[in-house]
Amino acid sequence: MVSKDGPTGAAVRQDAAVTASNVPKAIPYVLVALNPASLGAANRGTLSATPRFTSMARGTGPDVSIGVGDILSVTIFEAESGGLFIPKEAGSRSGNFVEIPNQQVDRSGVITIPYVDGPVHVAGRTTRSISAEISSRLKSRAIEPQVVVSVVEHRGNDISVLGEVNQAQHFSMDPGGIKLLDAIARAGGPRNPPYETTVTIQRNGVTRRASMSTIIRDPSQNVALRPGDVIYLTRDQKVFMVLGATPSPGSIGGTNNRRFSFDDDTMSLSEAIAKAGGLDTTRADPKEVFLFRVERRSTLMAAGVDVSQYKGDLVPTVYTVDLRKGDNFFMANSFNIRDKDLIFVSESPSTDLIKFLNILSPITSNAYSISESAAVSHNTY
């Protein structure tokens, strides 16, 4: 018995308990020739597919409010001695103020101030509004009281930066606020190139994502952070596949020699083909170069394609380009490919004839050798 790596195709089909017969035998797709209209629409679709922060607050962000666990310092001033906090005896103490022992905001979001009836709710508020409330609640007892509230230590307004950063960080937000790139810088920056890095922000149970390259290029994407935000960086390496009449695997670099990674945030069709080693001059048909992807209905409609027979928003699409024409090289050099795109280069029709002749060559050579040997043997006798 001849050894095998696994079962034959016939054996796999024979051993199946159920064979699906009600599925479509082919996936209907759209064939789109690469031209200025389809090029522009496709590139706009590629740009819109890049993850962005679309519904997060812009600007400098909110004032940092007091949170549970924060430690506050409260200082009370009176206009003259003989009031609630300053004795009448001159020289008995210096200054016209008294410092309350530091207060930590409890789980209910409150602190306690002497001679103020009931607790003071501070969580979610600014130090200015808290100072005004305490002054108002003391003025019936103290002499023209003025109150200064300051944060000794922030413990309830933390920001976390995790994932593919050089040093994960968990820190309290500064009173002046902080923006996304500043927070990432505190964590030592990303480990990977911007075009391979995706930034995720978790805020109030909602997750938003954007590419690092987009955040760097577009200042509006450098959003102001809020207390409690969690930033997570991941490595999302974009790849494309090239099949067909290109140099054989092993002759060039690349993952598995048919699967290649992007070298930058964007890559054109011509760059992708060049990275795969270009077209095989002995086999390729330059007029039959195809790119396979799933395209949005709106993108195809913008390119003038009739998609009325497709019900969903995503349509299987094949772009075709004829590289025998010089102007198509300009378009191929401007056509941006996407993550998981598949490029296929067809073989020239003459390649089949060459393959057939290569198969016949050993047979005819052997036949000629046998006839020559027979002739020599006959002449010998």
pLDDT at residue 256 tops 60? no
Q: What is the pLDDT of residue 296?
A: 94
pLDDT at 367 (0 to 100): 47
Q: How many residues does the chain have?
A: 381
β-pair partners for 195:
none
What pLDDT, on a 0 to 100 scale, did the predictor assign at position 75?
A: 92
Q: What is the band of 357 on the pLDDT scale with cuts at 50, 70, 90?
A: low
Helices and strands of the chain, counted as H and E runs = 9, 16
Token readout for 171 is: 């820190």
Tokens linked to 137: 């609640």
What confidence score (pLDDT) does residue 133 get? 93
Band the pLDDT of 231: cuts 50, 70, 90: very high
Q: What is the mean pLDDT of the chain?
A: 83
Residue 246, Cβ density class (10 Å: 0-12 exposed, 13-18 middle, ≥19 buried)? buried
pLDDT value of position 348: 83
Confidence tier at 351 by pLDDT (50, 70, 90)? low
The domains of the chain, with CATH numbers, are 28-49+239-350 (3.10.560.10), 71-153 (3.30.1950.10), 158-235 (3.10.560.10)
pLDDT at 364: 47
Element spanning 376, H or E: helix 349-380
* pLDDT (0 to 100) of residue 92: 53
The secondary structure of 76-119 as a DSSP string is: EE-SSSSSSSS-SSTTSSSSSEEEEEEEE--TTSEE--TTSSS-
Whether 265 shows a pLDDT value over 60: the answer reads yes
pLDDT at 368: 44
Q: What is the pLDDT of residue 154?
A: 77
Tokens 């812009």 locate to: 58
Q: How confident is the model at residue 141 (pLDDT cuts 50, 70, 90)?
A: confident
- What's the rounded Cα separation, in Å, for the pair 228 and 247? 52
173-224, pLDDT tens digit by residue? Answer: 877 788 999 999 999 999 999 999 999 999 988 999 999 999 999 999 999 9
Highest-confidence range of 66-70, 137-141, 235-239, by mean pLDDT? 235-239
pLDDT digits (tens, 9 = 90+) for 61-99: 556 778 888 899 999 998 877 777 777 665 555 567 888
Q: Could you identify the residue written with the tokens 């922060």?
A: 53
Residue 362 has pLDDT above 70, yes or no: no
